[in-house]
Amino acid sequence: MAQAKYTTHQGMNDILPGEVEKWQALERLIHREARKFNFEEIRTPVMEQTELVVRSVGRETDIVSKEIYSFTRGEDNYVLRPEGTAPVVRSYIQHHLDQRGGTQKFYYIGPMFRAERPQKGRLRQFHQFGIEIMGTGNAVADAECIAFMIHIYDVVGIKNTTLKINSIGDPASRDNYKQALTDYFTPLKDKLSEVSRKRLEKNPLRILDSKEAEDRPLVENAPRIADFLNPESKNHFEQVKLLLGELEIPFEEDPLLVRGLDYYTRTAFELISPDLGAQDALAGGGRYDLLAEEIGGPSTPAIGFAAGIERLLLACEELEIDIPGLLADQVDIYIVSLGEEGRKWALKHLPKLRRHGVSATMDYDGRSMKAQMKDANRKNARFAIIVGENELKENRFTFRDMEASEEISLPFDSIVEKVVT
């Protein structure tokens, strides 16, 4: 075949039929789960003012100093957004969304742009989904934010992940810590890698991220942020860990986790997958309590995370997870009814189930029990309620877990309770 004259830019991919179905399914899943957590979708333009991104993400970060796509047109400076948080915070301020009252909970899905060196799992146009919980500094929001992140991977079936968390404190603690790092690394400068030597001047925190072999032993012995946190930040971190424990979300404390963006305060976290190879970060996030004020808005403590969609799809490929298959239509309950009385009972009890938010259906035609069970399987029912003469007499019904093939006899109310919880 002749080489095409025009091709996509390096690190920017077409998503073709065959692949696009996975994207659609994943997006549907994200919309569905976000609604369960009461997040509202927000969509912002792919271009923002340069100054917004520089001030938010930080001039000395890799993203702004090396990876930003920018151009000027007349008086205006544009950047292709490299991440989703600064645009959402900008939108929140611009449209006074704080005035809707209470905590604002947003989610987004969309393309981001960074001029990185392309490799597996690292693109120049990639896609993220993420959430922002704005207007609360409470550790409960941190726990809920992390819980939603884990929940998505759980629903998809990516369970073998490691959650790493740390606290990077408030700006004053961080400045003291930066100074301590500078004092520690300066006499060791000659032993540091070239990248880290540069970082020492501009952003010593980033040395902690270094993957260079010569830096590792020096980093191991470096001062730790935990020793510089003020009591409020320390207390907040303790609360977050406690709540994660209560939610039974396992985590590892990683004192070297600092994240690459300037706007973070306090909680920082990352979700890692051993199934991904070198680019093993599935998602990351943290608190950014000062960002809204920093860019001209009201004081708005907030927390969020962003997750890479391509990396999630790579992990699914590794694990042979079929995302469209996950969304195959499913009904919660199929009522298998025998005889005329059974059918009447079924018809009367369907609305009761539906009122509890349970999806339910039945057979209309008085078919055999075997035919009804087959239909329940075809419809992917999670449970069946079997209603025959005996059941009606005793007012207890056979409740069958279709996947586990287990049955128990229960009154109707207990069945509802079981399905709803």
Based on the shown chain and the rule CB under 6 A, indicate whether residue 143 belongs to the binding site for ligand AMP: no
Based on the shown chain and the rule CB under 6 A, indicate whether residue 281 belongs to the binding site for ligand AMP: yes
CB 362 within 8 A of CB 351: no
Judged by CB under 6 A, the chain residues 292 through 311 that form the site for ligand AMP are: 306-308, 310-311
Q: What share of the chain is helix, strand, coil (3-state, %, to 5)?
A: 45, 20, 35
**By C-beta, is 162 or 398 nearer to ligand AMP?**
162
Based on the shown chain and the rule CB under 6 A, indicate whether residue 286 belongs to the binding site for ligand AMP: no
Distance CA 351, CA 333 (A): 12
Distance CA 111, CA 125 (A): 6
List, edge to edge, every strand of the sheet that includes 76-80. Answer: 47-49, 76-80, 70-73
Based on the shown chain and the rule CB under 6 A, indicate whether residue 280 belongs to the binding site for ligand AMP: no
We find the least distance from the C-beta atom of residue 86 to ligand AMP, in angstroms, to be: 11
257's tokens: 């986790």
Based on the shown chain and the rule CB under 6 A, indicate whether residue 126 belongs to the binding site for ligand AMP: yes
Based on the shown chain and the rule CB under 6 A, indicate whether residue 132 belongs to the binding site for ligand AMP: no
We find the least distance from the C-beta atom of residue 367 to ligand AMP, in angstroms, to be: 49
Distance CA 139, CA 161 (A): 22
**By C-beta, is 281 or 290 nearer to ligand AMP?**
281
Based on the shown chain and the rule CB under 6 A, indicate whether residue 149 belongs to the binding site for ligand AMP: no
Place of tokens 């947003």: 106
From 80, 86, 282, 313, residue interacting with ligand AMP (rule: CB under 6 A): 282
Distance CA 342, CA 49 (A): 65
Helix (H) or strand (E) holding 74: none
We find the least distance from the C-beta atom of residue 266 to ligand AMP, in angstroms, to be: 16
Torsion angles phi and psi, residue 35, rounded to 5: -65, -40
From 181, 283, 292, 373, residue interacting with ligand AMP (rule: CB under 6 A): 283
218's tokens: 């020096």
Q: How many CA atoms lie within 13 A of 18 on its CB side?
A: 2
Distance CA 112, CA 82 (A): 5
We find the least distance from the C-beta atom of residue 307 to ligand AMP, in angstroms, to be: 6
We find the least distance from the C-beta atom of residue 83 to ligand AMP, in angstroms, to be: 5
78's tokens: 């544009």
From 61, 104, 128, 265, residue interacting with ligand AMP (rule: CB under 6 A): 128
Based on the shown chain and the rule CB under 6 A, indicate whether residue 204 belongs to the binding site for ligand AMP: no
Q: Which stretch binds ligand AMP (CB under 6 A): 117-125, 165-173, 203-211, 348-356?
A: 117-125
We find the least distance from the C-beta atom of residue 131 to ligand AMP, in angstroms, to be: 12
| Interacting residues toward ligand AMP by CB under 6 A | 83, 114, 116, 121-123, 126, 128, 260, 281-284, 306-308, 310-311
